[in-house]
């Protein structure tokens, strides 16, 4: 009876910790109100344990305060272009929006506890007079509805992050120039957005690549222990954050550590998240039986999900040979004719296949399933998960 009970309690505790950890991995900044309210309670309850886990295994700092919980994810390397900031319509941010977002944050960092959209717009407008921005050839004058739309998209991102919360009014009225919106400014959120070891304003590098490197640079480990720890942190970060870890992506140190410690590493990630290690000769994928710990799904219902799956089939059928993007477009155009009733209207019109293929390849690249290089596409090993099965005669179909 008592062992039953303690077993149950342990299982409950593990279940709660997993939910908390998954919530943090999916949304590294959680707030106590709104959609994160339930998981926030769990994160607070298990804050000490989670903090220790992340510190020991990843070196990521977990800050849990009454106002927010922040898992300070530090990227493994600055080379991942597949995780853009998406707007409310899930479109990647443009150059102007990124710039607007940063300027809005700069303004808000110095603003009072409340502000309005109009006041924010005026302040941001002033910031555009920065000579460096002028020299970079970016302009913002707020005289186009397109510019206002960009600003509103940025504000909606800030609302989503919790840096702002709406007190009254709505952004659409602002877009139509018939009203303003009042916001509360959350300093806690503003203070916890950047996670780089170094503040960007202290970096003087001149090229984009050097700047990104400088942001992620960590001091070289001083002892053998520290070196091993740094390697473990890098590997666990990959296992937690990336869909696939291919042995060919690892350097010599990482490969040696991974080969000897693979089981320990994946078990620990499994314990934290409930992800299951799919161990293959070429590497490991931590896969999710619950299909929720991800921002991109495969397979996914709908036109784009279907195209991605059919492209994957086509590529695996030709593997190991690479396929040219042109061949893929021809294939997708052919498929569009066949799936006229299944896919979005107009998918079979000439020219549509270009967008369809681009979207599918973006998804497959982001999931680390293909490599696209100068117009030719190579299947990476895990793409074979999506190959057509040849049904064995024993199975009923």
Partner 1 sequence: MGESARPFAHLGAENAATYRAVLRMFADARDRYVLPLRPEDVVEDLAVVGSPVAVDVVENALTSLVGWGNLRADPDTGRVTTVEDFHRSRLLYQLTPEGQAAERAVRLYEETVGRRGALQAVALEDVAEHLRSLVVLLAATGPPDAARTQHLLTALTQRLETLADNAAAFMSSMQRSIDLQDADADAFVAYKDRLIDYLERFLSDLTTTGAEISGLVLRAEDLGVHAAVQAVAEREAADLAPGDDDETREREREQVRHGWEQRWRGMHTWFVGSRENPSQKDVLRRRGRSAIPQLLRAVNVLNERRSGRSDRSADFRRLAVWFAEAPEDATRHRLWHTAFGLSASRHLSIDGDSLTAQAAGAPRIVPWAEAEPLRISPQFRRTGHHERRGRPARVQDRSAQRRHLAELAAREQERLQVAQTELVGGGPRRVRDLPQLSSTAFSVFLGLLGHAIAARRPDALQAPCEATSADGSLRVRLTPLPGADVVPLRTEDGVLHLPDALVEIIGTDPGVRAP
| Residue with smaller CB distance to partner 1, 64 or 366 | 366
Count Cα atoms within 13 angstroms, Cβ side, for 6: 2
DSSP letter (8 states) at residue 382 = G
Task: List the interface residues with partner 1, window 107-126 (CB under 8 A).
Answer: 107, 109-110
**Does the protein bind partner 1 through residue 79 (CB under 8 A)?**
yes
| Residue with smaller CB distance to partner 1, 47 or 319 | 319
Task: Give the CA-trace dihedral at 356, 361, 362, 366, to 10 degrees.
Answer: 150
**Does the protein bind partner 1 through residue 339 (CB under 8 A)?**
yes
| Residue with smaller CB distance to partner 1, 169 or 280 | 280
Q: Which of 48, 184, 291, 326 binds partner 1 (CB under 8 A)?
A: 291
Helix (H) or strand (E) holding 188: helix 187-191
Task: List the interface residues with partner 1, window 83-102 (CB under 8 A).
Answer: 83-85, 92-95, 98-99, 102
**Does the protein bind partner 1 through residue 154 (CB under 8 A)?**
no
Q: Stretches 32-40, 163-171, 199-207, 321-329: which one binds partner 1 (CB under 8 A)?
A: 199-207
Q: Which of 127, 261, 355, 359 binds partner 1 (CB under 8 A)?
A: 127
Q: Which of 125, 247, 296, 325 binds partner 1 (CB under 8 A)?
A: 296
Cα 237 to chain centroid distance, Å, stands at 13
- Give the pair of three-digit tokens for residue 341: 């009733």
| Residue with smaller CB distance to partner 1, 121 or 244 | 244
Cα 265 to chain centroid distance, Å, stands at 22
**Does the protein bind partner 1 through residue 247 (CB under 8 A)?**
no
Helix (H) or strand (E) holding 64: strand 61-64
Q: Are residues 116 and 180 in contact, defined by beta-carbon separation less than 8 angstroms?
A: yes
Q: Are residues 362 and 306 in contact, defined by beta-carbon separation less than 8 angstroms?
A: no
> Phi first, then psi: what are they for 370, rounded to 5°?
-140, 160
What CA–CA distance (Å, rounded) separates 69 from 37? 11
Adjacent-strand bridge partners of 30: 69
Cα 260 to chain centroid distance, Å, stands at 29
**Does the protein bind partner 1 through residue 372 (CB under 8 A)?**
no
Q: Stretches 4-12, 35-43, 171-179, 200-208: which one binds partner 1 (CB under 8 A)?
A: 200-208
What CA–CA distance (Å, rounded) separates 85 from 67? 23
| Residue with smaller CB distance to partner 1, 296 or 322 | 296
**Does the protein bind partner 1 through residue 197 (CB under 8 A)?**
no
| Residue with smaller CB distance to partner 1, 15 or 83 | 83
Q: In 3-state terms, what secondary structure has residue 253?
A: helix
Q: Which of 14, 16, 19, 28 binds partner 1 (CB under 8 A)?
A: 28
Q: Stretches 1-9, 145-153, 223-231, 387-395: which one binds partner 1 (CB under 8 A)?
A: 387-395
What CA–CA distance (Å, rounded) separates 334 from 237? 41
- Give the pair of three-digit tokens for residue 210: 């050097």
Q: How many residues bind partner 1 (CB under 8 A)?
A: 107
Q: Which of 236, 303, 314, 336 binds partner 1 (CB under 8 A)?
A: 303
Q: Which of 12, 48, 55, 295 binds partner 1 (CB under 8 A)?
A: 295
What CA–CA distance (Å, rounded) separates 239 from 70? 19
Q: Report the nearest approach of partner 1 to the CB of residue 102 (Å).
A: 4
Q: Report the nearest approach of partner 1 to the CB of residue 64 (Å).
A: 16
**Does the protein bind partner 1 through residue 281 (CB under 8 A)?**
yes
Q: Report the nearest approach of partner 1 to the CB of residue 179 (Å).
A: 27
Q: Report the nearest approach of partner 1 to the CB of residue 215 (Å).
A: 5
Match 């709660």 to its residue by tokens.
16
**Does the protein bind partner 1 through residue 11 (CB under 8 A)?**
no
Residue 271 region, left (φ>0) first, then alpha (ψ -120 to 50), else beta?
A: alpha
Q: Are residues 70 and 63 in contact, defined by beta-carbon separation less than 8 angstroms?
A: yes
Q: Are residues 31 and 162 in contact, defined by beta-carbon separation less than 8 angstroms?
A: yes
**Does the protein bind partner 1 through residue 158 (CB under 8 A)?**
no
């Amino acid at each position: 009876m008592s062992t039953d009970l303690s077993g149950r309690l342990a299982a409950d505790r593990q279940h709660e910790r997993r939910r908390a950890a998954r919530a943090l991995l999916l949304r590294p900044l959680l707030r106590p109100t709104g959609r994160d309210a339930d998981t926030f309670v769990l994160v607070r309850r298990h804050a000490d344990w989670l903090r220790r886990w992340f510190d020991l295994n990843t070196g990521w700092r977990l800050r849990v305060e009454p106002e927010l919980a922040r898992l300070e994810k530090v990227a493994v390397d600055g080379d991942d272009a597949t995780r853009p900031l998406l707007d409310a319509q899930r479109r990647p941010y443009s150059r102007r929006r990124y710039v607007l977002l940063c300027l809005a944050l700069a303004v808000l960092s110095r603003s009072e506890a409340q502000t309005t959209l109009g006041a924010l717009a005026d302040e941001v407008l002033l910031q555009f007079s920065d000579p460096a921005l002028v020299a970079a050839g970016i302009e913002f004058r707020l005289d186009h509805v397109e510019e206002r739309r960009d600003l509103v998209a940025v504000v909606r991102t800030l609302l989503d992050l919790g840096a702002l919360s709406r007190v009254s009014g709505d952004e659409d009225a602002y877009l139509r120039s018939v009203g303003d919106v009042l916001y509360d400014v959350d300093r806690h959120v503003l203070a916890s957005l950047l996670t780089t070891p170094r503040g960007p304003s202290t970096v003087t590098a001149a090229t984009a690549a050097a700047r990104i490197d400088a942001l992620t640079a960590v001091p070289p480990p001083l002892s053998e222990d520290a070196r091993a720890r740094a390697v473990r942190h890098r590997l666990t970060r990959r296992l937690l954050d990336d869909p696939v870890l291919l042995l060919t992506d690892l350097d010599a140190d990482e490969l040696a550590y991974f080969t000897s410690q693979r089981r320990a590493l994946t078990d620990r990630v499994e314990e934290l998240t409930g992800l299951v290690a799919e161990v293959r000769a070429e590497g490991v994928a931590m896969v999710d039986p619950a299909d929720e710990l991800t921002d991109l799904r495969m397979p996914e219902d709908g036109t784009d999900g279907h195209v991605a799956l059919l492209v994957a089939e086509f590529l695996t059928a030709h593997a190991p040979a690479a396929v040219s993007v042109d061949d893929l477009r021809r294939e997708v155009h052919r498929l569009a004719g066949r799936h006229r009733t299944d896919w979005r209207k107009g998918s079979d019109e000439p020219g549509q296949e270009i967008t369809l293929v681009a979207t599918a390849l973006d998804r497959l690249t982001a999931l680390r399933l293909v490599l696209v290089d100068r117009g030719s596409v190579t299947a990476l090993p895990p793409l074979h998960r999506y190959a057509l099965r040849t049904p064995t005669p024993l199975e009923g179909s």
